[in-house]
Structure 1
């Protein structure tokens, strides 16, 4: 660790954060950190408490939703539930962890190694020989509780079998994870999300089956222990983390206080949880709807927390806070603006740890429609999607009558979220669009991806964000997916725009400026620059202009200014498509179901910018995409370098239709779809002089 970086970390933490972190580390290392007392069912009246959540009757819900969910999806749900009874649990919405019928909750399903179950919670993660703890945490979030409970609703003849299996898994977990010890008590968020799954399954499945007898007392005891632990150590999430972890912990306190009103601490828990949820609705959700963690997936986690908070408020006969509904509604507009209307996905922006806390639909993990539909119905009383499997989440959380809300399809168009720094150039065909990242960072949660461009053509993500892959495995892989060079942007002298200082922390937050944003009907323009390289010799600035010729062609102009000689690297990462041998060395061709999509790059004088196409290089590494946690796939990647005195300029033409490029001095002409568009590189913003000829 460089002293300069350490000093920068203290500056960015601020006095309060620095003092808290020092105190926290000292208490943990000296053993002064407390283990909160556990709970027992005898402390509160648990009779029939499991029905207080007031969720929809599962039989009625299944009858309505069976008409909206394809039969193949229901059969897959049943298969997942059947597998879960044997300890084969679907994790991260993607792969099954085979834990066996007698589950060892402290063993990694990937490495086979164990974490120490008797280690105090604040030391439990110190021994990392078992590998990435998320592989053990994920099944302990109990996604199988949602699969089993929902499958029992659609296949009631299996309800007793599913109920018995789930009750035994909860019993086994409780027996092996005493309060305050082991990895499953090392994170308040993990505790809260696990308890949420148990509460849902108790209401929908366990309390309705004789095979679930006694589960209410078992879960009631776990709720008390979990809430006491979370409350005791809440300051870590509140001061050191202040992201979706804090929301999940506040939700746990609020929700447990709601369903266990007889508990001695229930009033305090409800009040504390609600105060935090109120204050964080304004703190974590920016004015334009963006989210503090600069991650669409973590944004969804936060939204699910607030949806559940509304459910718990209803269970108490109370109303959701206005600030919750405002944050949900702002987020709805923000995420819908970035959405691919074909499959419900969004750009794979920011960190993606595979989190989907409440699995309440048969849709793919990446499909945002279930959550966004529920938010729209809750906040606006209208659906934004036609009837489909994504309605199941709304039905569970808001009731089947909510499905009668009118449908008002969103009109997606070009929009700039300037406060957060996200900008969308949308075509006449809404399934063709580009998402541009340009804005000064306001908080430390980010990948190192300024001026990254995501391109979607006819519903296909042709130029992609690489994703995250893994957090706690080989450091070089975590570094690769975080760094500038893995994104669709420019790097200077092989350096990152920011410093990846710790596992989840970056330093020297990039400042950036949006220079232009304009939709002109048949074309749209966005331009911006960032200053992350100014701290290095030469004080370089990277400026990018994006010109969208609707609906098939994008022109990208990259300029690096400053002083001295530098090496500039331009990178484009393709989606999961076959890459055909390019017709030239200055790009790559992607064979998509909608046709051939080409990438070509040029110097300022129009000469080809020669580079290389790589797919799945382990050495670099280079040419990798991760849409699901723990899974990476080889995809085509084009990179080209240019060295010399700045300014240096590069032009890329990205197109799904044939394009002719002509250059006369600084004047460029691009002919596409029988029209020729001209722009001049001598102008500060290329799009200013864009004109059809």
Structure 2
């Protein structure tokens, strides 16, 4: 930390202490001005899958909740908001800012405790009422909110610790408010209804006041800060009811404009180097723009241009069947849940939104369909605009030099597609690089829309340290590990110390043999420094990939080279290496390096770790990891040849940069 951050954190500690004395709190919010409210940014949801929506709402009313790895868990209705559904731990009801929410002994698994209180389920009930006019859903929304107000009084308890959690809750409250009819909702009829409305508005004020006093700054100013501005912006547009609302709105709008540029590279890559967090930031940007439009304004051209660039990157790394590499951290967060059908894809949904917003037929082709979330967001007019968009063939951007990702491949968007995404990116954003993984020079590979080489994902955050460390380690990625250490040094669950610096040396995606070259200095910290350089050459006519890993050093070192396969693949050893089969595609891997021995780590090895994949938070499954292991003395090269069978010959469809 620099001096400004140290001073800021000291000030935050002092602020927490004085709140114990009641100083600086908003315990008695001023009376709201209810003469005007913001316009709804949601539409009537015509055409949505009502059976899927009401099934989700009925499960909530019956007391069955889905929280990460827990499905249909009987939490009751309403639930006990301060009890962790995973461990059963009851968080203490003391000043929220005094709670050590990172301690499993104190709160259990904080992700499980916070998730229900984001109130995505409130939106489900509100949307079900809007679609059916069934009073059960209306009363359910009232019950859910009233119980939360009762059990989570400001500023007590774990739900008054993180400004981001309050911000996401405000967004969902705003969605529910509009879906339930706004100020004219039947919820507010009569004297009792007016008291309930006042109670809700008092909570809104307290949320806004809290966020405005506890923004994430300095090394913490990542997606958390963006989300905090989002929640404050949406709240002040929806409920401009207090003298402070205009000031908060100006702070939030300015912050969103600033952070849209600060947190996202000009080439469209989010600086956290975590694809799922790119999705979250894009969703925040989209929702804020729609809220602004509904209320007669818009964000700036640079803000909108940056959002469009973010969409270009997601489209480029997505294969023809909608698979996106699981690079960096992911926590399955949705800002708001407005689609309930099976197979819904957050990335494709965002691309559909951007197709409408920017009138992009190529993004429509990548999105593949107009989903229920976009029916709520854009309405019938948006669906008509979608229908008039002409789909265009895919010609993706192939180089993202600021973000550090490079494509090789052919036939993009077609049946015989090959899509290789090489990672030559920074570790992460700001000094702690919280959501980055030690994955420099790794790559993912998809053939004919089938994932072959994958990034295994994330799995854990605050708990299960050994798993948290494994999934972000170098051996968990398709690259070289030297002397059993990671390229970058883990210093905590969301902190890195010495960081590997990656540098692209060459990218030629248009040559007869396409080439990417890059290097990183992560192992130059060893007593005998090792420089790792990788060259990936794709012969599009022969359907062959040759990966050459150059290790420059003097002394003797142990090297490991891992290849992580999708769980849909079957893997078998051969005389020269191994084969990977997925439906009608087979890849043959061979390795030319003296003294390296092959082992297949299957069914979830733990000593050493290998053969694991995590598609969603706190859920892991078994797969196959191939590992070549051996020792080198002095500079050496490891050459891996990957021959793709089952593809037509030829170079058709190679995309321009």
- What TM-score do you get using the length of structure 1 for normalisation? 0.84
Q: Which residue of the partner structure matches residue 154 of structure 2?
A: 179
Q: Which residue of the partner structure matches residue 562 of structure 2?
A: 571
Looking at structure 1, the residues matched to 177 and 187 of structure 2 have their Cα atoms a distance apart, in angstroms, of: 12
| Paired residues for 1:16-415 under 5 Å | 16-25=4-13, 37-38=25-26, 43-46=31-34, 49=37, 52-58=38-44, 61-62=45-46, 65-66=47-48, 75-92=51-68, 95-125=71-101, 127-129=103-105, 130-154=107-131, 156=132, 159-205=134-180, 207=182, 210=186, 214=193, 216-234=197-215, 237-342=216-321, 344-362=322-340, 364=343, 366-380=345-359, 384-385=363-364, 390-405=370-385, 406-409=389-392, 411-413=394-396, 415=398
Q: 1:615 aligns with which of 574, 581, 603?
A: 603
Q: Figure out how many residues of one structure are paired with residues of the other and give that number.
A: 631
Q: 2:472 aligns with which of 458, 466, 482?
A: 482
Distance 1:211 1:270, change over 3 A: closer
| Contact kept? 1:350, 1:447, Cα under 8 Å | yes
Looking at structure 1, the residues matched to 71 and 408 of structure 2 have their Cα atoms a distance apart, in angstroms, of: 34
Give the CA deviation at 1:596.
3.2
Looking at structure 2, the residues matched to 128 and 257 of structure 1 have their Cα atoms a distance apart, in angstroms, of: 35
Looking at structure 1, the residues matched to 19 and 187 of structure 2 have their Cα atoms a distance apart, in angstroms, of: 42
Looking at structure 2, the residues matched to 316 and 414 of structure 1 have their Cα atoms a distance apart, in angstroms, of: 34
| Paired residues for 1:474-553 under 5 Å | 474-520=464-510, 523-550=513-540, 552-553=543-544
* CA deviation map 1:290-311 (0-9, x unaligned): 1121111111111111112112
- What TM-score do you get using the length of structure 2 for normalisation? 0.89
- Structure having greater relative contact order (Cα 8 Å, sep ≥ 6): 2
Give the CA deviation at 1:229.
0.4
Q: Which residue of the partner structure matches residue 688 of structure 1?
A: none
| Contact kept? 1:167, 1:206, Cα under 8 Å | no
Q: Which residue of the partner structure matches residue 679 of structure 1?
A: none
Looking at structure 2, the residues matched to 569 and 309 of structure 1 have their Cα atoms a distance apart, in angstroms, of: 46
Give the CA deviation at 1:345.
3.0
Give the CA deviation at 1:439.
3.3
| Contact kept? 2:418, 2:447, Cα under 8 Å | yes
| Paired residues for 1:448-459 under 5 Å | 448-459=438-449
Distance 1:437 1:674, change over 3 A: closer
Q: 2:461 aligns with which of 464, 467, 471?
A: 471
Q: Which residue of the partner structure matches residue 439 of structure 1?
A: 425
Equivalent position SS for 2:230:
helix
Looking at structure 2, the residues matched to 169 and 384 of structure 1 have their Cα atoms a distance apart, in angstroms, of: 38
Distance 1:427 1:260, change over 3 A: same
Give the CA deviation at 1:362.
3.7
Give the CA deviation at 1:580.
4.1
* CA deviation map 1:486-522 (0-9, x unaligned): 1111110001111111211112222122111112366
Looking at structure 2, the residues matched to 492 and 360 of structure 1 have their Cα atoms a distance apart, in angstroms, of: 46
Looking at structure 2, the residues matched to 117 and 14 of structure 1 have their Cα atoms a distance apart, in angstroms, of: 34
Looking at structure 1, the residues matched to 368 and 351 of structure 2 have their Cα atoms a distance apart, in angstroms, of: 13
Equivalent position SS for 1:360:
coil
Looking at structure 2, the residues matched to 390 and 320 of structure 1 have their Cα atoms a distance apart, in angstroms, of: 24
Q: Which residue of the partner structure matches residue 637 of structure 1?
A: 625
Give the CA deviation at 1:29.
7.4
Distance 1:32 1:511, change over 3 A: farther
List alignment gaps of at least 5 residues for structure 1. 1-12, 659-671, 677-693
Give the CA deviation at 1:523.
4.0
For structure 1, which segment, 182-191 or 85-94, has the greater mean C-alpha deviation from structure 2 after superposition? 85-94
Point out 4+ residue stretches in structure 1 off by more than 6 angstroms: 29-35, 39-42, 672-676
| Contact kept? 1:160, 1:211, Cα under 8 Å | no
| Contact kept? 2:355, 2:364, Cα under 8 Å | no
| Contact kept? 1:287, 1:419, Cα under 8 Å | yes
List alignment gaps of at least 5 residues for structure 2. 652-657
Q: 1:418 aligns with which of 397, 401, 406?
A: 401
Give the CA deviation at 1:240.
3.6
For structure 1, which segment, 410-419 or 224-233, has the greater mean C-alpha deviation from structure 2 after superposition? 410-419
